[in-house]
Amino acid sequence: MYITASASSLLRASRARLASSIAHSPKLSPPPLTGQTQARSLSSSAAAARSLRSSLPRWSHGVEWRSPLAHRLQIRAAAPVIERFQRRIATMATEHPFKGIFTSLPKPGGGEFGKFYSLPALNDPRIGNLISCPIRLESFSNPQFVIATTSRSPRKMSRRSLTGRIRLLSKSKSRSSLLVSSCRHDFTGVPAVVDLASMRDAVTNLGGDPKKINPLVPVDLVIDHSVQVDVTRSENAVQANMELEFQRNKERFAFLKWGSSAFHNMLVVPPGSGIVHQVNLEYLGRVVFNTDGILYPDSVVGTDSHTTMIDGLGVAGWGVGGIEAEAVMLGQPMSMVLPGVVGFKLMGKLRNGVTATDLVLTVTQMLRKHGVVGKFVEFYGDGMGELSLADRATIANMSPEYGATMGFFPVDHVTLQYLKLTGRSDETVARIEAYLRANKMFVDYNEPQQERVYSSYLQLDLSEVEPCISGPKRPHDRVALREMKTDWHSCLDNKVGFKGFAIPKEEQGKVAKFSFHGQPAELKHGSVVIAAITSCTNTSNPSVMLGAGLVAKKACELGLQVKPWVKTSLAPGSGVVTKYLLKSGLQKYLNEQGFNIVGYGCTTCIGNSGDIDESVGSAITENDIVAAAVLSGNRNFEGRVHALTRANYLASPPLVVAYALAGTVDIDFDKEPIGVGKDGKSVYFRDIWPSTAEIAEAVQSSVLPDMFKSTYEAITKGNPMWNELTVPAASSYSWDPKSTYIHEPPYFKNMTLNPPGAHGVKDAYCLLNFGDSITTDHISPAGSIHKDSPAAKFLLERGVERKDFNSYGSRRGNDEIMARGTFANIRLVNKLLNGEVGPKTVHIPTGEKLYVFDAASRYMNDGHDTIVLAGAEYGSGSSRDWAAKGPMLLGVKAVIAKSFERIHRSNLVGMGIIPLCFKPGQDADTLGLTGHERYTIDLPANISEIRPGQDVTVSTDNGKSFTCTVRFDTEVELAYFNHGGILPYVIRNLMKQ
């Protein structure tokens, strides 16, 4: 469930509309810059800058760029608002500092496409070294765009500093942070609306106007993560699963529908419309905006980490923390450290039979090894011309898995062809091309290419990519298909870890026989029990989707059939997929193999795989079988897909079908048959695998522009179940204390107008001691609610039956459930437990082994703070805000890790938790820390004495002392910390206005 809001340049659209009105006002006479009149300089006062930023976006309520996806919201700005803007601008100088580079973009046949800021007009040759970065650089030409420096106040970006910034954007050694005044973003819906509703209550309690809590940018909330795979192998699966979805989620759907009317600028797109990233790619992505004749690049931020899929379209986009995005909705600028840019050169052409998924898993492994956390990756080279737009989007989508902020593909002829395919008009495409060429952002591979300057370089010959999968526990653990059987047996032998299950040799050949609905069945280690074509990563790509259909077709013709106890499913990212699978005639073969369409949304990849058959589950648990899931998603972390599948592999959709047919991952596809055909002969992998030419022919004949047009014309119609929901018309939400879905969070209780100030940590206990690669799946509640967990106990005590537990994801509007689910992953490895796996820890004062929630509650009740120790890549995976909210509710005051994933570190700051990094070469083990110590973090109480990235001393009660780097990366983040988090900061600022 995600929200899509305005473009990063929406503020400009607001100004353009404002100036259009001012131009007709007798009070002012603006200069001829089509509404871009601004001050020659901005006040250095943070209050003045904040006031201006918070007001300008209100004009966005009626901007025309908003998609037809959003039923047109009426302009809510009234005459007094216009007059207030007029008075402000009347006090400013009217000469635009960049008027010298503001020029017309001519049409080839006469006339003009519009006006734009010309980067080449700066006459700086370094601009030619940039592709992804001019999108950020171009924004600097707007004098309203501010930069947070090492000083405490925003300042205007001068032309001199603009040109000087070019090197920093390509080499990026700057610790400055970019403040984006508004943006288009996607993020998890229920917690956002819950937080907005509770913020209104907080403002009321402080004596303010609750209506100040209102999105200042248009917000589209797309419900795409609530469907579960309950019904499969049925032509009625889509309808049946949606009915169950509404039965489980009626309360929260009604809450969201309330939010769409209670808050201005908020539209909720009903379930069943598709995955927001694919909708973004096929429909919402503009590449270049045209607002009142002013042209500027589209860019996106979103709280789903896979917002990066849009980078494949040449739109700069990346994920941010959910908490941060909520603040952006309310007018708070977004802060980020300027990134380094890694150049990734692609050469050659993929071999016959190699898929885009094989390529992305290879790229993911290479970039994760190279180290690109917090960096941009820009792809270039002659091999780009051999990749379809959908192939590029598949690679861009996996940016979080290789750790980059984004994986960017510049616009070229392939991009333009895709824009036309998906229904963008010829006029629009021509304008995009002309603008990007004029600003040196278009790549024409028919022209000589210059070698660009990057922070570091990688290259890959596409012809060297081979079929592969990734797993069994991490997306970057790639395994060549030809080595899979050997690798699997190594995993059985290896000690428990990312590549190990520690199964004794004498147990590895175990066969668990059972009865599946009256027919004999059996499972072994490596048996596939879930096979799912799911998630935005691959369901956006016609080549792999139609490839899966061809595999199913060939298998049907040869007489192969997927075993009935394998839970198969197909969840497309948009309705377009259904149209081209039906057009090709391949959907019927997928249906025959059990891959019926089950819904339109994120399913298995997010943990919404639903229950597996009870007989299968019993066979797994009673015989301790290491069962496998094979899915075409992007995440395969432990405990995510299903509690009973310890081995989870990412694979292309065609390979998902192939492994489902084989029924096991313990197979050498080169040498062993998949099965026996209807003629009694062995059928091998090569017999069912389609050629690249076959797939290309299917794509060419089956994927048509009208499919995109008709799909998105119908998307606003919703469905009867959604349309029948009735909600009260009230600006404040009436909280039901008995609700187990929606609950008023405690973040703002006892909040005062004055910030609490900075704080250190004194004599804190270690709640958990982790190693490397602890993901947000380990931290944040996801998937099913285990029957013995604290969350289950909470629900049972309130009369909720086990069958109605639903998932953590569906209950993320209730902080009491989510706090109990924090660190509740059944595969959690906590060093305090000495090798025992599970969601428990040791309560240090008593030595008792308790559920993490129970231990944390005892610490808080006794007045003790806690910290978490961790290794490298702490917080990798999905950008879940609950991975920070949960620990805060458990009383965690700081996390000390070797390194953090970018989004999670930001979320921790947003919730007032101190992120600290060990010095290079150090960690808890090298420092001799066991987690049984008590920790004091010597952080100044005066915020003015803390600097971004400064060193602090951590000492323990046993006399040990070491130095860490405090990971407040910007001055803005220090301000959040001073207020106890980003949302209290926003509330206090709104109260001052």
* Strand bridging mode 761-769 / 219-222: unpaired
Nearest CA to 320 out of 298, 333, 305 is that of 305
- Residue 165: both structure tokens together: 């910034």
Q: Does pLDDT of 607 surpass 80? A: no
pLDDT per position as a tens digit, 716-772: 677 788 888 888 888 899 999 999 999 999 999 889 999 999 999 999 999 999 999
Average pLDDT over residues 575-583: 93
In tens, the pLDDT along 859-893 reads: 999 999 999 999 999 998 776 889 999 999 999 99
Q: Return the higher-pLDDT residue of 176 and 122.
A: 122
CA distance 609 to 377: 32
- How much is the average pLDDT of 955-964? 96
Neighbours of 945 (CB within 10 A): 10
Tens-digit pLDDT profile for residues 204-218: 999 999 988 988 766
Whole-number pLDDT of residue 172: 33
Here the tokens at position 442 are: 């278009």
How long a stretch of residues is the chain? 993
Q: Do the Cβ atoms of 323 and 881 come closer than 8 Å?
A: yes
Give the contacts of 614 (CB within 8 A, at least 6 positions apart).
none
What pLDDT score does 168 carry? 33
pLDDT greater than 90 at residue 832: yes
Closest to 816 measured CA to CA, from 245, 186, 188, 194: 194
Non-local (6+) Cβ contacts of 723 within 8 A are none
Between 223 and 411, the more confident residue is: 411
Question: Which contiguous run of DSSP H or E holds residue 473?
Answer: none
Predicted confidence at residue 133, as pLDDT, reads 52
User: Taking 50 as the threshold, does the pLDDT of residue 84 lie above it?
Assistant: no
Peptide bond into 728 cis (omega under 30): no
How many whole angstroms separate alpha carbon 768 and alpha carbon 932?
Answer: 10
Residue 826: which pLDDT band, with cuts at 50, 70 and 90? confident
Contacts of residues 834-837 at CB distance under 8 Å and 24 or more positions apart, as own/partner, are 837/496
Most confident of 42-56, 208-222, 777-791: 777-791
Provide the pLDDT for residue 225: 74
Token reading at 856: 């944390």
| Three-state secondary structure call for residue 45 | coil
pLDDT reading at 66 higher than 90: no
pLDDT tens string 267-310: 777 887 777 778 878 887 889 988 788 898 887 777 677 888 89
Instruction: Report the amino acid identity of residue 437.
Output: R
- The pLDDT of 471-491, averaged and rounded, is 94
Token pair, residue 589, equals 């073969």
Q: In this model, does residue 61 exceed pLDDT 60?
A: no
Looking at the predicted structure, is the pLDDT value of residue 338 above 80?
Answer: no
Question: Percent of the chain scored above 70 by pLDDT?
Answer: 82
- Rounded to an integer, the average pLDDT of 583-594 is 97
Question: Which residue has better confidence, 752 or 162?
Answer: 752
pLDDT one-digit tens code per residue, 896-955: 999 998 889 989 999 999 999 999 999 999 999 999 999 999 999 899 999 999 999 999
Helix ranges (H only) for 350-412 are: 356-370, 389-397, 399-402
Amino acid at 18: L
Q: Look at residue 137 and tell me whether its pLDDT is greater than 90.
A: no
Q: What is the average pLDDT score of the chain?
A: 81
> What is the predicted pLDDT for the residue at 336?
66
Cβ(757)–Cβ(763) below 8 Å: no
- For the segment 28-43, the average pLDDT, to the nearest whole number, is 28
DSSP state of 896: E
The more confident residue out of 515 and 228 is 515
pLDDT in tens, 626-682: 999 999 988 887 778 888 999 999 999 999 999 999 999 999 999 999 999 999 999
Instruction: Please say whether the beta carbons of 629 and 655 come within 8 A.
Output: no
Q: Return the number of other C-beta atoms located less than 10 Å from residue 848's C-beta.
A: 13
Whole-number pLDDT of residue 292: 81
Residue 131 confidence (pLDDT): 58
* Under 8 Å between Cβ of 934 and 764: yes
Residue 266 has pLDDT above 90, yes or no: no
d(CA 253, CA 725): 8
Q: How much is the pLDDT for 623?
A: 96
Residues 683-714: pLDDT tens digits?
999 999 999 999 999 999 999 999 988 888 87
Tokens of 683: 């059928």
Sequential DSSP letters for 186-246:
---HHHHHHHHHHHHHHHHHTTS-GGG-S-SS-EEEE--S-----S-SSTTHHHHHHHHHH
pLDDT digit string (tens) for 786-799? 888 999 999 999 99
d(Cα 501, Cα 494) in Å, to the nearest integer? Answer: 6
If you average pLDDT over residues 539-552, what whole number do you get?
91
- 740-756 confidence digits (pLDDT tens): 999 999 999 889 999 99
Beta carbons of 806 and 225 less than 8 angstroms apart: no
- In 391-518 the beta strands, taken as DSSP E runs, fall at 406-408, 456-461, 468-470, 478-480, 511-516
State if pTM tops 0.85: no
pLDDT of residue 37: 27
- Cα 365 to Cα 87, 362, 460, 703: the distances in Å are 56, 5, 12, 31
Label each residue of 161-172 as H, E or C: HHHHHHHHHHCC
